Structure 1
């Protein structure tokens, strides 16, 4: 058990102090309580570690109530702790739950729990944004079935206004439908960003072929854009609204603003030719830098380069097994893309010399038989880049 207290005196500001006070009040109440902690990616790992003993078999936690330190025993009580967070902080830094806490908790991924409920989830973005926009805000206090019917009308379905529960004027219906149509365009982008964010966060870094995607598609993003929508906006103005919003979001990332905006344009399907070229270059450079490995470790760099060379030779072998004309063209293209570069600076131990010697022997054993075979074919034209 970790002997540390959730103390108001340790809070860095008044807001944090109030939150800690609420947590300790929940401990004091003890029974029939659900303690919900949101956006835990913004908290200090030490804060989360204070809940480890509460989540394991001991079911105990230290707290402070009315200035007195107490140990709360939750065994046999109906006390649940629910935490929610994102895999990245707002600055784009990776976030992970402390291992000891994760091992004692049930972990749910939003992407997994949404299976079969995609339609309801997509509508929740509109439901959540109702109070952000003055034209559709009244719907928040009316029968929600009206909202669903108005969404169907905005989507082009033939729903009579007489089916609505509230007595709307035609002018009011027209305004609401016009706003929902524009919000639907925003919703489409937010959902795509959300799906890409979840997929990227779930991927291990060693398998990535492009930079991680850190722009979120959250209710907050939806609300911030929805509040600016008016019935008379054109499609171009809506597109500009979305672009401006995510440009601002990208600027809050520590690094990667350009690549995240290029990826967003790709998933939205509105990349320009210049953006496509730049995005392909970034992806190629990303893979190349990963393959070069740790520049501070020359042996690891050499090992990575040998691996790249072997991959290239395997491609050559596959090309030679193809029909003559097709194989030669593929061989020429493969050789052109094969770029081997080894940079070793200031070797300071014998292990590096052994690695270099082994590297030389491998190159000889790989390339000598290949060159012998290729020399017998006079029609081969090499284009090594």
Structure 2
């Protein structure tokens, strides 16, 4: 969204919704329960006050109260109006005819593991997209973006991030088995440097495959209604944050077993942050990776349930 705003010549005003929390239900900064939330509401009202050439971006809206999101209903419909607070006074902003847009992003689950749902009246007035469904034809680009975003997190690849991306893509080609002459590179790299970079990229490709599978399973699980589930919700995530944390630990000399151990340790730590369902989520992850033992297969089977008869009838 920041890229889109930049290309359109819009001021990018990002609101960090976790800083607001579920207690904030008003756009009035003075009603905020703590200083962090108040600062975010001041930024939000500043975006209204600027009015023109602004993109207001609300990030991680699953951490907010539905009543707070409902304040934006009139802004998203044909009236294009919203009531804000500026210098302690209520003010109605009319955005008709102005280059002002609002974008919201969120995950299917709240931090407590509950299902998050965009308020109906807001969803009916806005354009709603599931990013997992709009990648058709762009899967390869999306997969490579995991590596691109994790470059600076790895000590071996960090130098490439400061030199432009052309050399990075050449090293990616080499890591994928394509031949690239050393004369094509814009910078000088010793043979040892090239070997290290390629080795790290190969390890990151292996880690990325796991992160991608987790991401796809998370999307598929979150899109499924509870009455149709045959297994518990899958809440481990395959985000850029996950890839960056794995990239920090990547080195050129990792064996396959060491790489698997790094991935295992990472997701064990992630599972401990879940409010419930850690064991079944880790078992499902092992199933996705094909590393389940017979005992673990039996344990995973105990978590699975039969499809309700009503659901089967509907399918028929």
Shorter-chain TM band: 0.7 to 0.9
Q: Which moved more, 1:260-269 or 1:230-239?
A: 230-239
Matched, 1:28 2:84: no
Q: Match for 2:175 among 154, 157, 169? A: 154
| Match of residue 108 from structure 1 | 129
Offset, 1:79: 0.8
CA distance in 2, matches of 1:163, 1:132: 26
| Preserved contact between residue 93 and residue 254 of structure 1 (Cα < 8 Å) | no
Distance 2:183 2:111 in 1: 45
2:223 to 183, 202, 205: 202
CA distance in 1, matches of 2:252, 2:297: 33
Question: What pairs up with 1:122-133 in 2 under 5 angstroms?
Answer: 122-133=143-154
- Which of these residues, 189, 203, 216, is aligned with residue 237 of structure 2? 216
Instruction: Tell me by how many angstroms 1:255 deviates.
Output: 1.3
Displacement of 1:192: 0.3
Q: Does 1:238 align with 2:259?
A: yes
- SS in structure 2 of the partner of residue 167 of structure 1: coil
1:267 Cα deviation after fit:
1.1
- Deviation of 1:279 after TM superposition, in Å, equals 0.8
**Which residue number in structure 2 is paired with residue 374 of structure 1?**
none
Residue of structure 1 equivalent to 2:10: none
Separation in structure 2 between the aligned mates of residue 10 and residue 221 of structure 1, nearest angstrom: 35
Contact 1:51 1:101 in 2 (8 A): yes
3-state secondary structure, aligned to 1:36:
strand
Which residue of 1 is the match for residue 298 of structure 2?
A: 277
In structure 2, what is the Cα distance between the partners aligned to 1:112 and 1:166? 39
Structure 1 runs (4+) greater than 6 angstroms displaced: none
Q: TM-score, normalised by structure 2?
A: 0.86
Gaps of 5+ in 2: 1-24
Task: Return the offset for 1:266.
Answer: 0.8
Please name the residue that 1:142 is paired with: 163
Q: Does 1:184 align with 2:166?
A: no
Work out whether 1:266 is the aligned partner of 2:298: no
Q: Distance in 2 between matches of 1:137 and 1:262?
A: 34
Give secondary structure in 2 for the equivalent of 1:267: helix
1:226 aligns with 2:247: yes
- Aligned pair 1:163/2:155, yes or no? no
Change over 3 Å in CA distance of 1:12–1:149 after alignment to 2? farther
Whether the 8 Å CA contact 1:5–1:64 is kept in 2: the answer is no
Higher share of residues assigned helix: 1
- Alpha carbons 2:26, 2:68 under 8 Å: kept: no
How many pairs were matched up?
288
Change (3 A) 1:14 1:109: same
Shift of 1:169: 2.2
The 3-state SS of whatever aligns with 1:34 is strand
In 2, distance between residues paired with 1:219 and 1:89? 18
- C-alpha separation between the residues in 2 aligned to 1:180 and 1:257? 30
Once the two structures are superposed, the pairs formed by residues 1-385 of structure 1 within 5 Å of their partners are 5-283=26-304, 286-287=305-306
Deviation of 1:221 after TM superposition, in Å, equals: 0.8
Report if the CA contact (8 A) 2:28-2:41 is conserved. yes
State the 1:5 CA deviation: 4.7
Q: How large is the RMSD of aligned CA atoms in angstroms? A: 1.9
TM-score, normalising length: structure 1 = 0.71
Aligned to 2:33, the other structure's residue is in SS state coil
Matched residue SS, 1:51:
helix
Residues 236, 271 of structure 2: 8 Å contact kept: yes
Q: CA deviation at 1:129?
A: 0.8
Query: Residues 204 and 247 of structure 2 are in contact (CA less than 8 Å); yes or no, is this contact kept in structure 1?
Result: yes
Between 114-123 and 232-241, the greater mean CA deviation after superposition: 232-241
Contiguous gaps of at least 5 residues in structure 1: 292-303, 312-385
2:254 & 2:65 partners in 1: Cα distance?
43
Residues 137, 11 of structure 1: alpha-carbon distance in 2 compared, 3 angstrom cutoff = farther
Cα drift, residue 160 of structure 1: 2.3
Structure with higher Rg: it is 1
